[in-house]
Amino acid sequence: MAEFHIAPYGSEYFEGVKTLWQEAFPDDPPWNKAEVAVPAKFAVQPELFLVALDGDVAIGSIMAGYDGHRGWLYALAVLNSRRRQGVGAALVREAEERLRSMGCSKINLQVRATNAIVIEFYKRLGYTIEERTSMGKRVASLPQASP
C-alpha cells in the first residue's frame, strides 16, 4: 500500500479533485460538480476542505463545515483504486479534529439511504443513524462555472 498524506486543498489540486469526484459521484446534479462546488467551498472555511495526496496526486477529498453549533461532513471521495486502504477514514479523522479544534461538539452527515456500503463505513467510525427527515430547498439559481 502506497503512503499518502492529508493537506488543505489548494487550486493546484483542482483537476485531480474534479477527476476524483467524477469517478465517485457520477450522477451528482450540476450544482455539486467540482466546477461549482470547489470554488464555493474554497471561499468559505477553506481550511475544512482537505485532500489526501499520494505525492502530488489527489486520491481522496472531504469537505467539512461548522456554523458554530454543528459540524457537517460532505463529499467524502476516494479513488476506487485506493479504497479500503485507510484513506477515507484518515480524511474523516482529520476533518473531525479540525472541527473539534473550532469548538464543534457534534458532527452530522448525510448518506443516501440506499448506500449501504457508505453507511457501514461511517458506522465503523462511530457514527449512528438518527431518525430524522432530511429536507432541502434550493434558494439560488445554479452559479455559472468559470470558463
Parallel, antiparallel, or unpaired for β 107-109 and 49-54? unpaired
Pick from 46, 54, 56, 57: nearest CA to 9 = 46
Distances (CA, A) of 72 to 37, 64, 82, 92, 131: 15, 5, 24, 11, 17
Q: Backbone dihedral region of 52: left (phi > 0), alpha (psi from -120 to 50 degrees) or beta? A: beta
Identify the band that residue 143 occupies on the pLDDT scale cut at 50, 70 and 90. Answer: low
Rounded distance, CA 8 to CA 16, Å?
14
- pTM (two decimals): 0.88
pLDDT of amino acid 146: 52
71 or 32: which leads in pLDDT: 71
The residue-averaged pLDDT of 114-125 equals 93
Per DSSP, 133 falls in state: -
On average, the pLDDT of the chain sits at 90
Residue 1 has pLDDT above 60, yes or no: no
